[in-house]
Amino acid sequence: MTEQALELKPVPTRILTDKDNIVDVIEKYAKEDIGPNDVVSVAESVVAITQGRFVRPEDLHPSLLARLLCRFIAKEGSLASAYGMQTAMNAEGSWRITWALFVGMLGKLVGRNGLFYELAGGQTSLIDDVTGTMPPFDKCLVYGPADPNGVAETIKQRLGCYGAVVADVNDLKRAAVLGATQGLVPKEIAQILINNPFGNASQKTPIVIIKNYGLAVQKATAQ
């Protein structure tokens, strides 16, 4: 099943904040468009923001360790600032991050890249540094969402749809499903979302409905 075979319907919303409940928002903006065979996907950073999982650099006090270790992250990385590194340490623990970075550096010496993010815990690769999210959260570091599977199940129960996912998608053709309702295949949904139908921040479409996904599954099964 590919994106070409399915209709993807982005749903515009206003800017969401920690005052919002993501399931209420989906109900408010998309209920009329969601059918029993549809899969609702929602952007992970927006779920995290509605969960209040963001912090201003001014509210962080980076440890000496964070200030030291951030120096060993490539300058493009979200953990390259002391604040990004401290955020990762707050989420996954200082010693885990330190150990992962040490092993990651050893791994690089023998040509094994990516070990740091494999060992440092799931939140580490989900942290968005400042500038990583739409205004007014461009001045905040945003963690990954909490309990994405639970969020997806709640969406499905409330909206009566075929399924729901919380997805991390960007314009660099990278897509990952962080949480999904039972029965969905995360890799398959990620492939459907690979062209980033959520668009950029200014398009304000954090919800994408994958129309008639359930019918497509039935058809594929029958064949």
Return the range that interacts with other proteins (CB under 8 A); candidates 79-87, 102-110, 119-127, 157-165.
Answer: 79-87
80 is a site residue for other proteins (CB under 8 A): yes
Q: In the set 67, 96, 158, 204, which binds other proteins (CB under 8 A)?
A: 67
CB 69 within 8 A of CB 97: yes
For residue 169, which amino acid is it?
V
Kindly list the distances between the CA atom of residue 9 and the CA atoms of 46, 47, 63, 169, in Å, as whole numbers in the listed order.
Answer: 17, 18, 44, 15
58 is a site residue for other proteins (CB under 8 A): yes
174 is a site residue for other proteins (CB under 8 A): no
Q: In the set 30, 34, 46, 82, which binds other proteins (CB under 8 A)?
A: 82
68 is a site residue for other proteins (CB under 8 A): yes
Return the range that interacts with other proteins (CB under 8 A); candidates 34-42, 55-63, 142-150, 183-191.
Answer: 55-63
Burial of 63 (0-12, 13-18, 19+ CB in 10 A): middle
Residues 139-158 that bind other proteins (CB under 8 A): 139
5 is a site residue for other proteins (CB under 8 A): no
The footprint of other proteins (CB under 8 A) covers 57-58, 62, 67-68, 70-71, 75-76, 80-83, 129-131, 135-136, 138-139
